[in-house]
Amino acid sequence: MRRLVLFLCLAVPADAAIAGMEVIKREDVAGGYERIRAKAHFTLDPKLPANQLIRDLEFAPKNDKGLVEFSADIEVLKPRDPSEGNGTLLLDVVNRGGQTIGMFTEAFLIEQKFTVAWVGWQWDVPKNPEKLRMYPAVAKGVEGIVRAELTIHEPTTVMNLADRDHQAYPVADAKNLELTVRNSPLGVRSVVPAAQWKLNGTQIEMPGGFRPGAIYELVYPARDPAIVGLGIAATRDLVSFLKFGGPGHLLLADQRRFLKRSIAYGASQSGRFLRTMLHGGLNTDENGKLVFDGVWANVAGGGRGSFNHRFAQASRDGHPTMNFFYPTDIFPFSDLPQKDPVTGQTAGLLPDPAKAPKIFYTNGSAEYWGRAASLIHTTPDGRQDAPVPETTRIYFVAGAQHGPQKFPPAAVKNGTNLANSNDYRPLFRALLMAMHEWLKDGTAPPDSSYPRMEQRQLVPVTSWGFPKPIATAVPTRALNGQRLDFGPDFATKGIVSKEPPTVGEPFPALVPQVDDDGNEIAGVKLPQIAVPLATYTGWNLRRDVFTSDTVNMTGSTLPFAKAKILEKYGNREEYLVKTKEAIRQLVQRRLLLAAEADQLQKNAAEQWDWFVAR
């Protein structure tokens, strides 16, 4: 039931990180909760050391107190009586402006008494009033270069300068622009004759049509960029305010006496955002206090992203058939310092491991094939396992694609197989409670579970042994971590002076080994993997112009023949007995919640009936 719509700006002293909160909407939610939508107004002192980590902040306009102003959309889901919460704030890092708590379900979070918050951190999200966005300050007078790339999957006559449907940096000078085309990521670029295309605002039009399978690229000058790193500052300062309060009284700070700890959860782009935040030393607020006590980067693999450099395009990330050579899967990858044997650089993801939060990294099969996930726990040369800090847990979800799907498996557009139907959300609800308990009372979470080189569970693609009797096309390469040179000032100042970058020797790509059924032998095996009726993969080969590549972020379900199912289990009852034991073991290891056991057993019965009938 909607209670009230308010338009209210509550002011606080101008030297506070949050200078005002414009409450847009409040509404009741079942379970004694309320949802608040608001717009937060921030001010940053560019002289503070914590804020000097934000690239180009010195070029932003200042108010009469010398502070930089910007704003962001926020949303909070909280108990109406804050004393009834569990003391943990869960910050769901929005993905391209959208919420991701479907991984846990809102009902579960309310049942467990979490306070949940969201903040818009990305300025260039698609124009949609439902999305949460950041309204940045700009770096006045700053000029630079932007690279726009489009890989053509289907016939089209229009190319957006931004990634997909995002907002683009306008072209500052349209003279002497060259559009190039190539046939592969490392292929030779050819100039497209100027008579064949024209620039129309932030789009390129080609009346004769772009060629499917080709990679088009335009490098162009731009000026007055959004200060993209303010999105990290907004995330940092909102959570700091909700945890620690601030000068004056704000409506959304009424839980600061009750919130004792905070967890950041981010999936895919949002997980890479959190890895970037950690790497940049931005998990402490302006007063030096730890912002997130726990950080959970899901399906981020070894990636970071374009979240805090000049003319950054936050939506750009590497995939098998798009967004090549953007700063995503780049060194360093692992938490602890390691030496790159090619460049000689020594670095780790965490600037100071002794001051790091508790960390979860969760990845599925898809991230080993498409996001260089192996590099978070191997040496950069791919020859041995690497040490992992005591404060970090790594969980490999065996047989999982980039996002969980419901049963039964659906067809995949341009894919050769049914989609992967391994629904691993029950695991994530258990892991969330494990992180909460780790922070709340020090109860250690389940041990890490991921493929080890020393046990031959992690291998080069050339040593990967997918069973030949399984009738499917298989990938012959995985996405590598990359050595990219964007110019001498990229690492230290966030300034890109070389586009496209110089591409160096790639890092090795290692993938999880499989058994005779084609299922992966290491990691956390949910019931449908531990007692399989099908092969579950993190890849699905394409059947369009990119037939040698995989469908982005999509896996496969390859059903066993009925004869094989009966040979393995004999009958339905025996299968269900084995499934029940697998569930029991996962509950015992705290990788499933006991309350979910019965439903998982019912799911297993449904799956038996479907696969056998098929």
Residue 74's pLDDT is 97
Query: At residue 359, what is the residue type?
Result: I
The Cα 375–Cα 334 span in angstroms is 7
Task: Name which of 270, 326, 315, 335 is nearest 296 in CA terms.
Answer: 270
* DSSP annotation string for 575-596: HHHHHHHHHHHHHHTTSS-GGG
Mean pLDDT calculated for residue range 123-143: 96
At residue 438, the pLDDT reads 98
**Which 3-state string (H, E, C) describes 156-177?**
EEEEECCCCCCCCCCCCCCCCC
Task: Provide the CB-side half-sphere exposure for 522 (13 A, CA).
Answer: 23
What pLDDT does 257 receive?
Answer: 82
Q: What is the mean pLDDT of residues 531-549?
A: 91
Determine contact, residues 246/18, Cβ cutoff 8 Å: yes
Number of CB atoms found within 10 A of residue 388's CB: 18
Per-residue pLDDT at 13: 46
Task: Give pLDDT, residue 251.
Answer: 63
Q: Which residues does 344 contact at the CB level (< 8 Å), separation at least 6?
A: none
In this prediction, residues 503-528 reach a mean pLDDT of 98
Per-residue pLDDT, averaged over 560-567, amounts to: 97
pLDDT value at residue 543:
86
Summarize pLDDT for 8-63 with one digit per residue, the tens. Answer: 444 444 456 899 889 999 999 999 999 999 999 999 999 999 999 999 999 999 99
pLDDT of the residue at 11: 45
- Indicate if the pLDDT at residue 1 is higher than 60: no
Model confidence at 254: pLDDT above 90: no
Write down the mean pLDDT value for the chain. 94
For residues 240-249, give the mean pLDDT: 76
pLDDT (0 to 100) of residue 12? 46
Would you state the pLDDT for residue 7? 41
Residue 366 confidence (pLDDT): 97
Average confidence (pLDDT) over 400-419: 94
179-235 confidence digits (pLDDT tens): 999 999 999 999 999 999 999 999 999 999 999 999 999 999 999 999 999 999 999
Q: What's the full length of the chain, in residues?
A: 614
The percentage of the chain sitting over the pLDDT mark of 70, rounded to a whole number, equals 96
Q: State in Å, rounded, how far the first CA of the chain is from the last one.
A: 45
Give tens-digit pLDDT for 256-267: 788 999 999 999
Name the more confident of 530 and 471: 530
Question: Inter-axis angle of helices 230-244 and 269-279, to 10 degrees?
Answer: 80
Handedness of CA 422, 425, 428, 433 (dihedral sign): negative
pLDDT of 346 above 60: yes
The predicted structure's pLDDT at residue 16? 63
pLDDT band at 250 (very low <50, low <70, confident <90, very high): low
